[in-house]
Amino acid sequence: MLKISTVIPYKLKPTVIAIYPGSFDPITLGHLDIIERGSKLFDRVVVAVLRNPGKAPLFTVEQRLCQIRTATKHLPQVEADSFDGLTVAYANLIGAKVLLRGLRVLSDFEKELQMAHTNKTLSTEIETVFLATSTEYGFLSSSIVKEIARFNGSIDHLVSPHVASEIYQCYNNPSIHS
């Protein structure tokens, strides 16, 4: 007897959009690792830079978007955008059902869990998905990168080359190679 499959054929499946929100000041190889792995799980990943007037960033939102677009140009399903206000409001606006976040250490977990629970109270439709950092990036943050560059250290192993040279320029760091 012919068995009728209840599995929805791939082509008819709805597109799952994930947003990866953050400051990305600047994007590091740790962020990039989460983006690359997220892009294998979801149809589209929108890297969403929060316009946060409360923070004094090193790079403008436009510079950060440009850095992200260059770093992810090998990933066709990844795009970059900026937003202000509530993350869930932006997710609803673009039809994203997933908030992608990265977890490094236990202290990330507390903050991220609180944020995920808060977002759930604002929108039950949106799920937060956490990806554990790859072990080699467990220590890495945008702040660490800026701190090293500020004291004339090399950050070539922590960020993409175009991002490294922009950071070196900001700090007049002699590690710069043009």
Provide, rounded to whole angstroms, the least separation between the CB of residue 159 and ligand ADP. 11
**Residue among 23 and 63 whose Cβ is closer to ligand ADP:** 23
Number of residues that bind ligand ADP (CB under 6 A): 16
First-last CA distance in the chain: 69
**Residue among 138 and 172 whose Cβ is closer to ligand ADP:** 138
- Binding region for ligand ADP (CB under 6 A) out of 16-24, 67-75, 121-129, 147-155: 16-24
- Select the residue interacting with ligand ADP from 65, 137, 159, 168 (CB under 6 A): 137
Does 26 sit near ligand ADP (CB under 6 A)?
A: no
In whole angstroms, give the CA distance from residue 143 to residue 95. 31
**Residue among 28 and 173 whose Cβ is closer to ligand ADP:** 28
In whole angstroms, give the CA distance from residue 93 to residue 43. 17
Does 108 sit near ligand ADP (CB under 6 A)?
A: yes
Rule CB under 6 A: which of 114-133 touch ligand ADP?
A: 133
Within 10 A of 77 (CB to CB), how many other CB atoms are there?
16
- Binding region for ligand ADP (CB under 6 A) out of 61-69, 89-97, 100-108, 163-171: 100-108
Q: What is the CA radius of gyration of the chain?
A: 18
- Select the residue interacting with ligand ADP from 17, 31, 88, 96 (CB under 6 A): 31
State the amino acid at position 160 in one-letter form: S
Using CB under 6 A as the criterion, which residues of the chain lie in contact with ligand ADP when the complex forms?
22-24, 28, 30-31, 34, 101-102, 104, 108, 133, 137, 140-142
